Structure 1
């Protein structure tokens, strides 16, 4: 009884062992039946009154309650569970019994009636498993691509901070110093946008009477940071053409 797995769980869990026998937990059934009598008294009365046999109709074990006290649990066969449901003689008991019967029908329909059908079921399961593996591999690829993209394009901070971090990352990836990375960035930016950043920065400084002006700050003041980030992005991804 240790190797039970849930095979249905619409109204309440139904368990199955390794040989296909089905069971129901009496406490879970009791809770669905909305019985007012305390569970220990209810189950003991049902076992005694309807001659359920230990180790044939049901098995017992102990679990631990939320306050640490041991609870005696009862696992009934599905047939005995039908009787427990019907004994209540109410609509919910009848509904649960029908649910048990429906689960049994589904189980019978799934059983192969020939070696060929058993082989076909096994093949279908293998195909489904392979499809799941392929889906998982695709999901892993997508996630890895997103991780790589985030690793390439740093989205923390504002655009100016982002540009600085991208140039730092480019310098690290190319094994060059920060100044050389900026020089390569400026050269690429000038080529793409047919301009000269060094001249533009100096002209802006003179026009506005500034003593110092960094390239990122100039790009921010002239609303060109988005263009600059695109150039840095392409450098990081080593693409030749910049749209």
Structure 2
């Protein structure tokens, strides 16, 4: 069966020829930071959730490091159910379900009306959706105005964002590693310290507020966790000093 890649974000989103949308369970396992090995985890999830092959998931043969393996493609509904049942991090589980709901809204296909009555219902729903969209747009404008105020009033000389950048870069220099790797280690340390997933949270925030390419310091500042980031960076520096 052929699949089309709709987008590559936190997860790769696939669509088959019938229009159904899927995510790779292996990617979901990694993003949720599940400690259990993937093969055992996915088989247990399928069994305990009562998923049916062909309805809730599909399988595809693959090779990993030269060894034969199996990829499991979950429907959005099955992926949300799987994320909900993952208790390694409650916050990450909630963020993932929110992200998957957004994917379903962006790429989900609607059933075509089969009668005049259904067509009228569709038109009525469109009118309601338009009114809701206008209300949402007005709310987003207010939020953007507030956000613009925040950005315009940030002190770029010596503010906490800059302090975090300097600390992480100093950590990378002391470790003798490239700056991007230093940031990866910072995110990993932050995730462990607060049992979260920074990459997932940043992506959800960008989608919710219509932003692009937020840096980690910018995001932490906007959600009032820059002080937490500084403490993590200080702890990292203490280990290598």
TM-score (norm. length: structure 2): 0.43
Q: Which has the larger radius of gyration?
A: 1
Structure with more contact order per residue of length (Cα contacts < 8 Å, sep ≥ 6):
2
TM-score (norm. length: structure 1): 0.42
